[in-house]
Amino acid sequence: MKIVRLFKNKFLIATVFFVVWMMFFDHNNIFLHVQYRTELNDLKKSKEYYKEQIGKTRKEVELFKTNPKWMEKVAREQYLMKRDNEDVFVIKEH
């Protein structure tokens, strides 16, 4: 009896309809909000990663400007440059 009375209440029916519509059928539904939230968290992690990389790069640039030995080390290790009359052997580990 009480349940039937609840279903006759037009305000309750309108509220339930509105909530269901907003959660599932609207273009800003709950699933999109969850997706946007996870995407936002991923972007925040990427932002932190790139900030760290920028910091490392700035330190390396300062070393390049101040230390010529560092420049030679990077040129030899990363770009496989060599001096005259010198042979370079590259050993790669799998």
pLDDT digits (tens, 9 = 90+) for 37-72: 999 999 999 999 999 999 999 998 998 899 888 888
Residues 6 or more apart in contact with residue 7 via CB below 8 angstroms: 13
Domain coordinates in residue numbering, the chain: 2-79
Mean pLDDT for the stretch of residues 15-29: 83
**Rounded to 5 degrees, what angle do the CA atoms 85, 60, 49 make?**
130
pTM attached to this predicted model: 0.56
Burial track 16-25 (b if 16+ CB lie within 10 A, e otherwise)? eeeeeeeeee
